[in-house]
């Protein structure tokens, strides 16, 4: 049934019974699930409070919170903070220096000594800045909605919040030690990250387990590993001379040929290594090159009868482990050093987001999550392909504690106009999140 409306709130009010029936039908039957009596109450609570959760999703999606929209990010943080307070958390806002031009982070805590210490990760910002075309929350049909950041990752945030509110309703958070950390600049971290992620990392270090609510790849897929991301800048130099002397001892090969040799050898030498990728995102060369790193742009002057004296290439490097990153850098440096006649070059590497490497601890978490999924009647949960995911905030803390990511919402088109979320998956994902947290507390 196509839904045409001007207000999602009106739609929910008029169709509450239908929505509940549809969601409950999609969700596993409580009678068939291997849950204890209190867990069954949590499941029922989540079903009953889905309309309010969708309204919360709409409300926050309709607030532009592009990373650079400081006020918008704070508004979303204020709304989510009040919801977390309803779950018995104390909230605080972590401010960042004005020089970083970022809003800061929302942190909610409960302190206790029962079970595992849990670090829950989300983010408030989106890639959509205020000057981009507006895309408010709207229903496309009875199961799909669109909106800026509706899936990445306001959908994941509301799933985590609903799970915690459900657990709190039945006293299951008593004595727990949980930190909920919603960053305000995941999509474009403030630099230096040693400052923008300092508090984030320090709080994570005192925990045992990190649960990331970035978008899920499917109802039965989670991330036990994520690739890291870094960048590199290649600067190439040649002898400026008349083009008639190209390839000669006097003229050499020029900067553009040398740049082409280097990036092609990157491809032929390293491209077959699993989980390792490197992409030259921009190349410029000529008689004169001015590169503006902050604007990711370059001005070039050149003629076809001049051997080019200058070229630059800017690219990324993605990797599954720190060792893979370092080994790739060594090979790339060796390739750069093998110059064509009459040229020279240097490559500079810049660290970005580290990787979330696969570990035995992460696999143990996966086993727990798999059991929860089975108990909810939804079948086995497996680890997804690390190569299919980008980098995320959880990677900053992956070396310190056991981690699982991809516990958030499911949709399509993240980071693009028309981003969508599949609303009928929210019940199971919220129930799974609640059961994961509850069982970690009971350990």
Q: Mark whether 342 and 407 lie in a shared domain.
A: no
How far apart are the C-alpha atoms of 30 and 376, rounded to whole Å?
8
> Residue 3: what pLDDT?
41
For residue 167, being part of any structural domain is answered with: yes
How far apart are the C-alpha atoms of 243 and 230, rounded to whole Å?
36
Examine the fold and report which residue of 327, 353, 379 is the final residue of a domain before the chain moves on.
353
> Residue 85: what pLDDT?
98
Q: Quick one: which of 433, 394, 413, 356 has its CA closest to 152?
A: 413
The per-residue pLDDT for range 48-104, each reduced to its tens digit, is 999 999 999 999 999 999 999 999 999 999 999 999 999 999 999 999 999 999 999
Domain that holds residue 24: 8-226+356-442
Residue entry with tokens 């050093």: 337
Q: Mark whether 159 and 52 lie in a shared domain.
A: yes
For residue 41, being part of any structural domain is answered with: yes
How far apart are the C-alpha atoms of 289 and 325, rounded to whole Å?
29
> Residue 296: what pLDDT?
78
Structure pTM? 0.85
- Exposed e or buried b per residue across 288-304, where buried means at least 16 C-beta atoms within 10 angstroms of its C-beta: ebebeeeeeebebebee
Q: Mark whether 302 and 214 lie in a shared domain.
A: no
> Residue 5: what pLDDT?
40
Q: Mark whether 80 and 218 lie in a shared domain.
A: yes
Q: Mark whether 89 and 234 lie in a shared domain.
A: no
Examine the fold and report which residue of 336, 353, 370 is the final residue of a domain before the chain moves on.
353
| Ranges in the chain, pLDDT < 50 | 1-8, 11-12, 17-32
For residue 3, being part of any structural domain is answered with: no
Q: Mark whether 327 and 188 lie in a shared domain.
A: no
Q: Count of domains in the chain?
A: 2
Examine the fold and report which residue of 290, 323, 353 is the final residue of a domain before the chain moves on.
353
Instruction: Say how many C-beta atoms besides its own lie within 10 A of residue 59's C-beta.
Output: 17
For residue 54, being part of any structural domain is answered with: yes
Distances (CA, A) of 67 to 113, 161, 402: 35, 21, 28
Question: Which CATH number belongs to the domain containing residue 299 in this structure?
Answer: 3.30.70.360
Residue 261: enclosing H or E segment and its boundaries? helix 254-270
For residue 377, being part of any structural domain is answered with: yes
176, β-bridge pairs: 114
For residue 342, being part of any structural domain is answered with: yes
Q: Mark whether 241 and 264 lie in a shared domain.
A: yes
Distances (CA, A) of 403 to 208, 257, 358, 412: 9, 45, 9, 24
For residue 106, being part of any structural domain is answered with: yes
For residue 1, being part of any structural domain is answered with: no
Q: Mark whether 246 and 257 lie in a shared domain.
A: yes
């Amino acid at each position: 049934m196509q839904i045409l409306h001007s207000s999602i709130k009106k739609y929910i009010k008029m169709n509450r019974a239908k929505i509940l029936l549809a969601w409950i039908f999609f969700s596993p039957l409580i009678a068939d699930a291997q849950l204890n009596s209190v867990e069954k109450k949590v499941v029922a609570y989540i079903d009953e409070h889905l309309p309010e959760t969708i309204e919360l999703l709409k409300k926050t999606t309709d607030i532009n919170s592009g990373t650079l929209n400081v006020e918008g990010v704070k508004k979303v943080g204020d709304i989510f903070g009040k919801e977390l307070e309803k779950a018995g958390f104390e909230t605080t806002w972590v401010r960042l220096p004005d020089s970083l031009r970022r809003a800061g982070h929302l942190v909610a805590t409960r302190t206790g000594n029962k079970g595992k210490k849990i670090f829950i990760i989300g983010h408030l910002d989106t890639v959509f800045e205020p000057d981009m075309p507006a895309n408010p929350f709207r229903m496309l049909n009875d199961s799909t909605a669109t909106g800026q950041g509706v899936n990445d990752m306001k959908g994941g945030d509301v799933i985590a919040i609903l799970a915690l509110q459900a657990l709190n309703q039945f006293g299951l958070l008593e004595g727990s030690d949980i930190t909920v950390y919603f960053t305000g600049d995941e999509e474009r971290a403030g630099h230096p990250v040693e400052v923008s992620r300092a508090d984030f990392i320090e709080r994570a270090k005192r925990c045992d387990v990190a649960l990331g609510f970035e978008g899920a790849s499917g109802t039965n897929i989670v991330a036990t590993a994520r690739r890291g991301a870094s960048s590199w800048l290649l600067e190439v130099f040649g002898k400026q001379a008349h083009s008639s002397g190209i390839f000669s001892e006097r003229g050499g090969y020029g900067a553009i040929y040398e740049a082409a040799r280097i990036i092609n050898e990157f491809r032929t030498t390293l491209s077959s290594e699993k989980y390792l990728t490197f992409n030259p995102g921009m190349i410029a060369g000529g008689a004169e090159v001015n590169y503006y790193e902050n604007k990711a742009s370059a001005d070039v002057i050149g003629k076809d009868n001049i051997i080019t004296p200058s070229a630059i290439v800017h690219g990324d490097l993605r990797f599954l482990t720190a060792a893979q990153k370092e080994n790739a850098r060594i090979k790339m440096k060796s390739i750069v050093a093998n110059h064509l006649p009459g040229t020279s070059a240097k490559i500079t590497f810049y660290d970005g987001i580290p990787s979330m490497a696969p570990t035995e601890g992460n696999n143990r978490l996966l086993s727990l999550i798999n059991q929860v999924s089975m108990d909810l009647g939804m079948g086995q949960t497996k680890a997804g392909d690390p190569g299919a995911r980008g980098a995320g905030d959880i990677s900053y803390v992956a070396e310190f504690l056991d981690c699982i990511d991809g516990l958030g919402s499911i949709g399509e088109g993240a980071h693009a106009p028309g981003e969508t979320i599949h609303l009928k998956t929210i019940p199971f994902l919220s129930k799974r999140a609640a059961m994961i947290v509850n069982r970690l507390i009971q350990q």
